[in-house]
Each structure stands twice: as structure tokens, then as C-alpha cells.
Amino acid sequence: MTAATHGFTGFRPTAFTFFRGLRDNNDPAWFKPRKSVYEAEVLAPFRALVAAVGAALGEAGIPLAGDPLRSIFRIYRDVRFSPDKRLYKTHAGAVLTRSGGKRDPGLLYLHLEPGASMVAAGFWHPEPQLLLRLRRAMLGDPERFIEIADALATAGCPISSDETLTRLPRGFETAKGTTVEDYVCWKSFTAHAALRNKDMQSPALVDRIVEFARTALPLLEWGWAAAEDDMPPLVLSMPVRPLPPPDF
């Protein structure tokens, strides 16, 4: 079944024009008269994209799903505890997970932004106990993780992290000198692929996203297996920290 059959025909240039204008005029006086443009040119096609990608992933046997009404992040920023008081995001994002819920670990992320659109997959700031399990799985079978990392790098979407520790975490000192020493210090494990504006405007975007998801699936399956490992997780005394706000 083609992408067009799924109902997604691509974002129109107006979507990019809208976000460029919002970037330069991030205030209610500009946004409110143009909210209908956002709903018609960004939100409606993004909902169609989520539905189309979910259907195509199902056909491909990739266990990720999304909800067109709930998978897309709000355009309104939470500025209560942020020094950045801009009220609106200048991009749009959505996630697909195994359960379809936004907080399910191991996700596919879709991002629309003029000149900076992308698709990503992996484990972004996992909860502390899951992070412990991921690190333990990495150290328990470093060859497998390096194989996954190398395959993604070869495919042009290497694993990365937006935050790392400066030294090995407590309980993982044996990672010193191993091939996964640096990875054990990471706090996220995600792969990304850039998408051009023209890619976002094409029905073929669905197929590109599914192909990326197929490439990133070994990383997701590795993390899911670690999350579901029935071995007791390492028990370390550590403070509970809130997740960073998902300002996608």
C-alpha cells in the first residue's frame, strides 16, 4: 500500500511559512489570528502523517503505533520554570511507541521544522531504573551493542546522546577500558536522520520514515529486551529526578 493510499499527501509550503513567521513573532498577537492556519496546515496533515506511518509500520511488522489525536505535542510551551518565556514552539513533533502512549520507553519521533526536520528513534532520557538496565545490558554483551551502533553509523544515523557523565556511573566501574566505556556514561541512546523541506512535502515521507524505523529497530529491540529482563535490576541508592521537559 502506498503512502498516498494511507491519506498523507505531504505538508504544504504554507506550514513552513507559518513556522518562520512564528519564529519572528512569538506572541499571541501574531499567533491567535493565524491559529486556523496552524490547525489546517500543520496539525491536520501531521495527524494524517501519524495515522499513515502507524498503518505502514503495522504492515511492515514494526511494533510501533500512534494516535493522531494524542501523539502530537502541543504547540504551547510550558514556561513556568524556564528562563525562555517564548509561548510557542517553532516546530511540531509527535511520537509513536509500542503502546501508542507518549511515555512508553523506546520511541519513534517525528519532527517538523523549517530546515531542521528529522526522524529519530531510541531511548531518550530513560527513567533511572531503565537506564541501569540499559547500561547493564550494554556491559553484559558489549559486542552486540557495538554491532548495533556500527550498523547505525554505517547507515548514516549514528547513536548519540544529548547528555553524558564525565566519569563512569557507580556500579559500572568494570566498563573501564571496554569498547562500551563511553556509551555507559550516556544518558540517552537515540539515532537521527535529517529530512529536507521537500521530503516533508512528499507522500513518500511515510516510506522514508518506515525505512528509518526498520534501520533503527535493532536499537529499539535491544532496549526493549533490557527493559523486560527478568533479572533483578541493580539496586543503587539514588535520588529520584524528574524527566526533563519534552520540549520537542
Give me the domain span that covers residue 176: 4-227
Neighbouring-strand partners of residue 95 = 109
77 located within any domain: yes
- Residue 32 forms part of a structural domain: yes
Question: pLDDT for 68-123, tens place per residue?
Answer: 999 999 999 998 988 999 999 999 999 999 999 998 999 999 999 999 999 999 99
Residue 139: give its domain's CATH number. 3.30.930
pLDDT tens per residue, range 16-52: 999 999 999 999 999 999 999 999 999 999 999 999 9
- pLDDT value at 237 more than 70: no
CB contact set of 17 (below 8 Å; sequence gap of 6+): none
In a domain, 248, yes or no: no
C-alpha cell at 161: 546522546
Note whether residue 235 is domain-resident: no
Domain assignment present for residue 220? The answer is yes
pLDDT at 7: 85
Greater model confidence, 166 or 248: 166
236 is a domain residue: no
Q: What is residue 163's predicted lDDT score, i.e. its pLDDT?
A: 96
Confidence tier at 231 by pLDDT (50, 70, 90):
low
Distance CA 122, CA 129 (A): 16
Distances (CA, A) of 193 to 58, 75, 90, 247: 21, 23, 19, 19
Phi, psi of 112 (to 5 degrees): -110, 120
pLDDT of 234 above 80: no
236 has pLDDT over 50 = no
Give strand pairing partners of 191: 121, 159
pLDDT over 50 at 1, yes or no: no
Sign of CA dihedral 169, 173, 176, 178: negative
Q: Is residue 242 part of a domain?
A: no
Number of domains in the chain: 1
Pairing of strands 159-160, 117-123: unpaired
In the numeric block, which cell numbers belong to residue 115? 530546515
Express each pLDDT in 168-215 by its tens digit.
999 999 999 999 999 999 999 999 999 999 999 999 999 999 999 999
Residue 241 lies in a domain: no
